[in-house]
Amino acid sequence: MILGEYLFWHYGLALRERLYSALSLLRTTANFLSILPLAKSILAPWHRIKDPYQRGFELGEFFWTLASNLVSRILGAIVRLFVIAAGLVVLALVAIWCALALAFWFLLPLLIPLTILVGALFILT
Amino acid sequence: MPWNRNKQIERVVRWHRRLPKGFVYGLRNVAGWLALGALIFNLILSSRAGLGVFLIAGGVWAAAGAWKKFFEWYKNPPLGASLAVLAERIRPLNAAKIFPLFDFNARQILWQLAKGGELSRTQVLVAIGTSHLLNFFFARTGISRDEYLSAARPSVPERPFSPEETNAFFEKALSAAIGHGHEFIRPVDILAVLFDEMPAFANLLRNAGMKAEDLDHLYHWEAYQLSHRRRSWTNGLTRGGIGKTWTYGYTPTLDRFAEELQVSSELEALHVQAHGREIIELENALSKHAAANAVLVGEPGVGAMTTVLGFAARVGEGRSVRHLNFKRVLKLNLDAVLSERRERILEVLGRILREAELAGNVILVIDSVHLYLTPGATDPNIVEVLLPYLKSTPVHFIGLTTPGSYRRSVLTQSIIATLFERIDVNEPDRKTMIRILEDYVTHREGSFGVTVRYQAIVKTVDLAAEYMVDKLFPAKGLELLEEALIEVSRRGGERVLKPEDVEAMLRSRLAVPVGEPSESEKKVLLRLEEVIHERVINQNEAVAAVADAMRRARAGITSREKPIGTFLFLGPTGVGKTETAKAVAQAYFGSAESMIRLDMSEYQKPEAIDRIIGSPDGREVGQLASRVREHPFSLILLDEIEKAHSSIHDLLLQILDEGRATDVFGRPINFRTSIIIATSNAGAEFIREAIAANADYETLRRNLIETVLKSGIFKPEFINRFDAVIVFKPLDRKSVEAVSALMLREVTTRLYEDNYLFQLTPELIQWVAQNGYSKEFGGRALNRFIQDRLESVIAKKILAGRYPKGTPLWLRPEDLGA
């Protein structure tokens, strides 16, 4: 009877809670690594450093401003791309971890007696 | 059916209880460490046995962890709806339907008792008291378990509940839980019902200075302490992302003139519950599309800056509105900007604001914002530089100001006023204040090494509300509690902060009688007439009436919604009205100087009201308002009240009735810790005639009031507002002699202090009484006579060297020009 109650809880509410926890961990990791904001602003100038274009048209001045703004954007893109790539790797690792944890929880009622049994066999044999 | 369900729970619980206390937790820890050790051992030595131990220990660790979580859930599975909704669904109510709504602890107690057929009030109270549930209650209230149990057990055994009584009892517990806003019916709700139904239990709590509502406060405090211990690990997950700031701009100039507001969630939790509404309003105001700025308006001490700190914590931890989350909340130091060279000020401010705008993640906080927004308040005028940024979207501004300053500096400029959304920061109510102090104690008592009793917290809130009228909550409550904590932490031995310590702290700080009267104070109160008579001659009825009122006030019988005592003294000049007031101030407030004296003949014109409560233009400070605010524990003497303008009489109606008024700026003035005495010569002639006709005191008093009312000097409602109308009779011959003796003794004492030994004779006293007294000016004429005829002569003798120190001096009436 208690076992029935336990299994009802284990595969009902507790499993749902674990699922939410896994999703929350993934979201927190993605948020921490800022993957989405970095992707959205991938070509934005680094720390918004941007020279304003002067009034009137002077070729040298125009190209100088364009070049310095491009440097700012390229620098920003390089740093962001690097972080996004690293972030995706970390996110993938976290996703694998979450999947393993969920699988572990799913199999836990079987794993507990199994590990104890196998462990005893290892010791005794 | 629900009872059967409980059998199931009961079995699990019984099984769980058979295990030694903490067994599951201990087992999980031991198994976890063993598994780790075995894993390391196996990795180093590749041992099969090590692998076996790792597998077994790991299995036990996982099983114990799962069991622990299952058991926690099993005790209190969520009900799925609020108690109020569930109660509606299961109507008509009975015990069997209500039973599943109790929480695990309550269910256990009721189930055990019902099984034994012993469900009665006494049994329930005893069962709760002997369980672990009241450990926190006993520790925090100072009530011992033995005291509790002896109050719980009646002299005559109580019969068990009938089924109808059980239904009624459960329904009351359900109502209490709904009233407390609980998720389940908890043991504290049962205790609230028992408080109403068991006088011995109610008396126990009342004697310990508690009410029924305090049970719920204690439950919440315990719950807060437990939740506080559990939540610290979650904070690490709520920081902003590592790359988020890369999308925002640098602010080198702004950083020089601003301070980042970063608050730990622990500190935020201290006060945030007092300002939850304001924080949400602030978030809404800053979420607008344009001119998303807010101004927090509150008196100093109500927690306007705390609101900003609470908001900053939410923003910093990503718990605020999505587009505000993880922004930088910076307190801009405009004074530092204004201290730059004059020609640089506008340039520096412009650069700061441009950086803030370009950065795109800045919320600027400006304290005392009114100081900078008034045209001409700063040199050069910075409003012109600020205006475009106040209208822009990327930068948000939060201003802090007081209601008076807001009215004067912000409201008068319609453009500025429309750019800021006003958010009023109000004082927290009593219940919230108790919770704030509970949180404060949870975080701070450890650092003081003091244990704080719950009653000390309640006492702090009540005393601060009553006596620290010039300050506001939460600041005054926190200030008083902290001072009491510091005081108790200096003690040796058991360091427990009790209500008496809070009273003692306030008593020493304000020099006023607070709390239970001490033994010496009780003695003074019981012989108050004698104390007053040391200064006032005769006037027995008047002195007795005043003394009675004072005793009632200190015994706590009088209303706390009014001044301590209000008296109208009627009588001719110089019969002891002012002297009685001084004597009362001396006896009650410890000094005759604790008196605010206003000559009401100076308040005869309609505009005189400005001099009482202040004028809107600020030219008149409001003499009474400011003095009462500075010295709330004073005797207010309103001399010649009949001469004051009728508008002042109307203001007094409210003060006498409610013990409070508001000054011209809408700030409350508290008179509930004052004694108000108004004096009047009205009807003096009538008193003389009545005394000559040998009228008794009560008839004289009644007829005098009638005469005064008929003459239209006072309105009936004005007279009726006083606690007592006291008539002072003209002095008779004997009294005049006694007053003369009193005054001459004062002269003797003053001279004795300089070692001049002036000798008083009965002959001299009689001479002064006969010649110095005048019907018109009463005792005052005596004073002047002594000055002119006696003191002047003595002064001449001293200056001429004819009265050496240390030698006795006798003066006869002939020596004084008789």
In the chain, the amino acid numbered B348 is V
Distance from CA of A54 to the nearest CA of B (A): 18
Give B191's Cβ-side CA count (13 Å radius).
28
Neighbours of B388 (CB within 10 A): 11
**CB distance from A115 to chain B under 8 Å?**
yes
Close Cβ partners of B719 (under 8 Å, ≥ 6 residues apart) = B568, B705, B708, B709, B725
Q: How far apart are CA B518 and CA B521, in angstroms?
A: 5
| Pairing state between β B724-727 and B421-424 | unpaired
Three-class SS of residue B698? helix
CB contact under 8 A, B249 and A34: no
Q: How far apart are CA B182 and CA B176, in angstroms?
A: 9
B157 is written with which tokens?
């055994």
ipTM surpasses cut 0.85: no
Neighbours of B360 (CB within 10 A): 14
Q: How far apart are CA B280 and CA B316, in angstroms?
A: 15
H/E element, B370? helix B370-373
B523 is written with which tokens?
């003695």
Give the pLDDT means over successive 10-residue stretches in chain B (818 positions). 52 58 80 92 87 92 87 79 90 86 87 79 91 92 93 81 89 94 93 93 93 92 76 49 76 92 60 78 90 91 87 85 89 93 92 92 93 82 88 89 88 88 92 89 89 96 85 89 93 88 87 71 84 84 83 74 87 86 84 85 88 77 83 89 90 89 79 89 82 78 86 88 86 82 87 84 86 76 84 85 81 76
Q: In this predicted structure, what is the pLDDT of residue B459?
A: 94
In the chain, the amino acid numbered B777 is F
**How would DSSP label each residue in B420-432?**
SEEEE-----HHH
CB contact under 8 A, B66 and A44: no
Torsion angle (degrees, nearest 10) of CA B406, B410, B414, B418: -80
Kindly report the pTM of this predicted structure. Answer: 0.72
Residue of A nearest to B58 (CA): A115
CB contact under 8 A, A119 and B66: no
Q: How far apart are CA B238 and CA B240, in angstroms?
A: 7
CB contact under 8 A, A47 and B249: yes
Q: In this predicted structure, what is the pLDDT of residue B2?
A: 45
Q: In this predicted structure, what is the pLDDT of residue B606?
A: 85
Let me know: does B489 contact B240? Beta carbons within 8 Å: no
Q: In this predicted structure, what is the pLDDT of residue B100?
A: 84
Q: How far apart are CA B571 and CA B778, in angstroms?
A: 11
Better pLDDT: A55 or B721: B721
Of B59, B70, B250, the CB nearest to A119: B59
Distance from CA of A46 to the nearest CA of B (A): 7
**CB distance from A121 to chain B under 8 Å?**
yes
Torsion angle (degrees, nearest 10) of CA A98, A99, A105, A111: -120
| Three-point CA angle B94, B103, B455, nearest 5° | 110
Neighbours of B725 (CB within 10 A): 20
Q: In this predicted structure, what is the pLDDT of residue B1?
A: 34
Q: In this predicted structure, what is the pLDDT of residue B234?
A: 45
Q: How far apart are CA B598 and CA B611, in angstroms?
A: 11
B500 is written with which tokens?
């008496």
Name the residue range of residue A97's domain.
Answer: 2-124
**Number of domains chain A contains:** 1
Of B15, B70, B244, the CB nearest to A9: B70
Rg (CA), chain A: 27
CB contact under 8 A, A123 and B49: yes
**CB distance from A1 to chain B under 8 Å?**
yes
Three-class SS of residue B221? helix
H/E element, B749? helix B733-753
Better pLDDT: A37 or B617: A37
Strand partners of residue B726: B569
A63 is written with which tokens?
């190209």
B817 phi-psi bin (left φ>0, alpha ψ -120 to 50, beta other): left
Residue of B nearest to A104 (CA): B62
